[in-house]
Amino acid sequence: MNFTIQFEPNPSDEVKEIIFSGLLEHAALETGLPAAELRSTPFAFVVRIDDVIRAGLIGTIFYQAVLIDTLWVDAELRKQGAGRALLRKAEEFAKSKGCTTSFLNTLSPSNISFYEKSGYVFEFARTKYLGGFTMHYFRKTL
Average pLDDT, the chain: 93
Average pLDDT rounded to a whole number, residues 17-28: 89
pLDDT above 90 for 97? yes
- Write down the number of H helices and E strands in the chain: 4, 6
pLDDT tens digit string along 98-120? 999 999 999 999 999 999 999 99
pLDDT tens digit string along 71-95? 999 999 999 999 999 999 999 999 9
DSSP 8-state code for residue 10: S
Domains contained in the chain, CATH given = 13-141 (3.40.630.30)
Whole-angstrom distance, CA of residue 107 vs CA of residue 26: 32
The three-class DSSP label of residue 5 is coil
pTM score, whole prediction:
0.83
